[in-house]
């Protein structure tokens, strides 16, 4: 197993708007499999990624039921990544920027997500081996 590292990733995109969200989760997945500690600072629309009220739906265009469609739901992917990290001796610390949460009404997040601020992003970054910012456009 690779040496344990701590990586911080800042994301900004709301779910379902851009491929950046998928790539960010792919990176987090790789890091989780390696047992890294992963800090995620969710800024702006990204605070909706772990929003607990997301629900899957059917796909009548393709004739698929809710179960058959098995729609990608970001909060479930994030919960799975948190479990994956723990299974491998790491941890995901997911911080939602508090003011971004407030203005979007996104306080209802899955367990394991905490409210924070830009100070948290700076402190997480200072305590990490490296930081990647995936900004929105």
Partner 1 sequence: MKTLSIVESAYRATVEEQDDTIVWIHGAMKSVGADLAVLLRGNAVNYLVQRQDAGGLTFGDWRQTQPPRIASDLAALAAKGVEVCYVAEDVAERGIERKELINSAQPVARGAVAELLGRYDRVWYW
Partner 2 sequence: MPRYLLIESRDPFDSNDTRFCCDLAQQLAAAKNEVILFLVQNGVLPVRPGARSGDLTTLAGAGVRVLADSFSLKERGIDENRLASGVAAAPLDVVLDALAEGAKVIWH
Instruction: Decide: is 51 part of the binding site for partner 1 (CB under 8 A).
Output: no
Q: CA torsion angle for 43, 46, 50, 55 (degrees, to 10)?
A: 150
Residues 37-66 that bind partner 2 (CB under 8 A): none
Q: Would you state the structure tokens that stand for residue 91, as one six-digit string?
A: 């941890």
Geometric angle at alpha carbon 42, from 82 and 17, rounded to 5°:
100
Which of 27, 33, 44, 59 binds partner 1 (CB under 8 A)? It is: 44
Residue closer to partner 2 (CB basis): 49 or 106: 49
Residues 6+ apart with CB under 8 A from 97: 41, 42, 43, 44, 47, 116, 117, 118, 121
| E strands in the chain | 6-11, 37-42, 91-97, 113-116, 130-134
Which of 14, 35, 36, 95 binds partner 2 (CB under 8 A)? It is: 36
Which of 17, 23, 105, 118 binds partner 2 (CB under 8 A)? It is: 23
Residue closer to partner 1 (CB basis): 43 or 94: 43
Give which of partner 1, partner 2, none residue 3 binds (C-beta under 5 to 8 Å, depending on kind). Answer: partner 2
Residues 92-131 that bind partner 2 (CB under 8 A): 129-130
Instruction: Decide: is 137 part of the binding site for partner 1 (CB under 8 A).
Output: yes
């Amino acid at each position: 197993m690779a040496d344990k590292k701590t990586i911080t990733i800042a994301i900004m995109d709301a779910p379902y708007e851009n491929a950046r969200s998928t790539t960010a989760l792919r990176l987090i997945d790789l890091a989780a499999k390696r047992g890294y500690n992963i800090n995620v600072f969710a800024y702006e629309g990204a605070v909706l990624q772990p929003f607990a009220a997301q629900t899957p739906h059917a796909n009548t265009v393709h004739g698929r039921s809710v179960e058959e469609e098995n729609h990608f739901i970001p909060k479930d992917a994030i919960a799975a990544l948190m479990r994956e990290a723990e299974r491998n001796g790491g941890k995901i610390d997911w911080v939602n920027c508090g003011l971004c949460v407030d203005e979007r009404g996104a306080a209802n997040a899955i367990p394991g997500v905490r409210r924070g601020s830009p100070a948290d992003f700076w402190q997480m970054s200072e305590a990490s081996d490296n930081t990647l910012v995936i900004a929105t456009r």
